[in-house]
Amino acid sequence: MGEGRQATVQRMRLGFFKRGVVQILIAVACGIVLGRWHPALAVEMKPLSDGFVRLIGMPISLLVFALVVSGIAGMRSQTQAAKIGGKALLYFALMTLLSLLVGVVAALLLHPGNDLEPGFALEELSSLTSSSEYFFAQWQQWQFSEAMLETIPSSFFGAFVEGDIQQVLLLALLFGVALAWSGERGAPIRQMIELLLELLFSLMNLVLKLAPLAAFGAIAFTIGKYGIGSMVPLLKFVATLYLASAAFILLVLALVSQLAGVSLWRLLLYVKDELALVLFTTSSIAALPGLIARMERLGCSPAVVRLVLPAGYSFNLNGTNLYLAVAVIFLAQVQEIPLSLGQLVMLVLVASLTSKGATGVTGSAFVALAATLSALPFMPTEGMVLLLGVERLMKCRSLTNAIGNCVACVAIARWDNALDREVMRRELKAPFSAGPIAPD
């Protein structure tokens, strides 16, 4: 009897340490220790996280294409596809507006830039000038008309070569509609798309086994390079963004979840492994395969999931919206630029457009910030280099993006009567039961 109990306890221990979230937390703890006690070596760990993000990004374009095509082609009619797409765009527009407003209110109430000297950027972050050249180049090249034109790929395979998610989405939308119109003649292509999805999910699950190493590398580099206290003067900006993100999640997303008939807390527990991956790799798109599987298993229609989630990574980036609003007002406060009500309205309108180019991968939000500043005539762009020093601390941005897309998926599925509530209740009863999952 005692041996049986010991074997059970041993299995429980092994199961505990096999969970993705536990492995990532252990890796983070090791990264903090290395960064604190051996900074020079810790800085050399950066390729671990960078390499992981590249591996994750490698099949993402093809995965998004296959998901959207599968979702559209699997719908009963093109009327249904148009209806879901219309609801998704309406929902995305509303959440974009609300997230920007929350960011504006938080920055105006907390005044994150009022206590910071304007010269701090030059004194503390002069070493980042070379790093910022890329972002300034992106800013100088950005024009709204060209940005719209660039959503159209120059060739079928060009979108995949460039890795532009918006081009891939447009291509997938057109291909999916054409495939749906083909009727029975398109059945072999639909089967090939489903097989491709299975292969891509298997590939992603293989890459995700390296997530603890990526988390270790990211945390070790951050602590080793910047130290615990080196960014203290900018921590008020970081704290403001975290508070704004928390307010948006606990007020707006919690209300939307409640209206959709699901507890936000239980939903977060259900996707905890994917959220841990996002938190410690700072790439919200890294969790896309796992979230697709989770939402389908939760009872959301695959047609809704495969259209809403991939599209959300271009059009529903709530965390990025919060960042843009807080960052612009922070920079205005640092440079002692008073903002009128009209200028704040202009900020919200411009950011609602420029945020659509930030596709949920590491660093894209900073490029969106450059585009936003360039489109605001009352804001100089020089001060944005100040924020490069805390770019690695903006983990709440990616986390809020991922949570917002999960809630969007459930809400739109419920709105379209495409949510199996009995399955959802059963799945949410035991949120701690399993680690990362793949589609059946």
Q: Which is nearest to 354 in space by CA: 345, 340, 365?
A: 365
Q: Are 341 and 350 in contact (CB under 8 A)?
A: no
Q: How far is CA 133 from the centre of its chain?
A: 24
Q: What is the mean pLDDT of the chain?
A: 78
Residue 234's closest CA among 303, 334, 166?
334
Higher pLDDT, 63 or 344: 344
**DSSP category for residue 8:** H
CA–CA distance, 401 with 288 (Å, rounded to integer)? 11
* Poorest-pLDDT segment among 201-215, 382-396, 416-430: 382-396
Separation of alpha carbons 148 and 437, rounded Å: 36
Spatial distance between the Cα atoms of 250 and 265, rounded to a whole number of angstroms: 10
Tokens of 440: 């059946």
pLDDT at residue 137 greater than cutoff 70:
no
Where are the chain's structural domains?
2-428
Which is it for the CA torsion 182, 162, 54, 381, positive or negative? Answer: negative
**C-alpha–C-alpha distance, residues 403 and 318, integer Å:** 9
Residue 239 has what pLDDT? 92
Q: Under 8 Å CB-to-CB from 90, ≥6 apart: which residues?
A: none
What pLDDT band is residue 260 in, cutting at 50, 70 and 90? Answer: very high
> Which tens digits make up the pLDDT trace of 413-439?
999 899 999 999 999 886 544 444 444
Q: Which of 85, 310, 74, 63 is nearest to 186 (CA)?
A: 74
> Which is higher by pLDDT, 348 or 23?
348
This prediction's pTM: 0.70
Nearest to 219 by CA among 63, 26, 32, 425: 32
pLDDT category, 171, cuts 50, 70, 90?
A: confident
Which distant-in-sequence residues (6+ apart) come within 8 Å of 237 by Cβ? Answer: 112, 113, 326, 327, 330, 387, 390
Q: How sure is the predictor about 106, in pLDDT bands with cuts at 50, 70 and 90?
A: very high
List the Cα angle 169/320/208 in 5-degree steps.
Answer: 65
Give the whole-number percent of the chain exceeding pLDDT 90. 25
Residue 170 CA to residue 147 CA, distance in Å, equals 14
The pLDDT score that the predictor gives to residue 115 is 65
- Residue 206, φ and ψ in degrees, nearest 5: -65, -45
Helix, strand or coil, per DSSP, at residue 376: coil
What string of DSSP letters covers 273-342?
A: HHHHHHHHH--GGGGHHHHHHHHHHHTB-HHHHHHHHHHHHHH--HHHHHHHHHHHHHHHHHTT----HH
Q: Is the model's pLDDT at 395 over the cut of 90?
A: no
> What would the mean pLDDT of 43-71 be, rounded to a whole number?
79
Q: CA end-to-end span of the chain, whole Å?
A: 37
* pLDDT score at 439: 44
At residue 386, does pLDDT exceed 70?
no
CA neighbor of 101 nearest in space, from 213, 299, 248, 253:
248
The pLDDT of residue 10 = 43
Please give the CATH topology (third level) of the domain spanning 2-428: Proton glutamate symport protein (1.10.3860)
Name which of 35-44, 88-97, 164-173 the model is least confident about. Answer: 164-173
The answer on pLDDT for 289 being more than 60 is yes
> What average pLDDT does the segment 174-179 reach?
83
Contact indicator for 214, 281 with CB cutoff of 8 Å: yes
* pLDDT category of residue 372 using cuts at 50, 70 and 90: confident
Segment 56-80 shows an average pLDDT of 73
* Average pLDDT of the residues in 299-324: 89
User: What is d(CA 330, CA 363) in angstroms, rounded to the nearest whole number?
Assistant: 19
**AA letter at 139:** W
- Phi and psi angles of residue 300, each rounded to the nearest 5 degrees, phi first: -75, 140
d(CA 148, CA 139): 15
Percentage of the residues of the chain whose pLDDT score is greater than 70: 74
Tokens for 149? 């034109």
Q: So what's the pLDDT on residue 131?
A: 43
Q: Which two tokens stand for residue 135?
A: 């972002």
The reported pLDDT for the residue numbered 295 is 93
Read off the amino acid at residue 357: G
Q: Count other C-beta atoms under 10 Å from residue 65's C-beta.
A: 24
The two tokens of residue 119 are 């010269």
Residue 105 has pLDDT above 50, yes or no: yes
In this prediction, residues 277-301 reach a mean pLDDT of 84
Residue 440: pLDDT band with limits 50, 70, 90: very low
Give tens-digit pLDDT for 324-362: 999 999 989 888 889 999 999 999 998 887 787 555 555
For residue 298, give the amino acid letter: L
Provide DSSP, 364-407: HHHHHHHHHHHH-TT--SGGGGGGGGGGGG-HHHHHHHHHHHHH
Determine contact, residues 167/152, Cβ cutoff 8 Å.
yes
Spatial distance between the Cα atoms of 331 and 390, rounded to a whole number of angstroms: 14
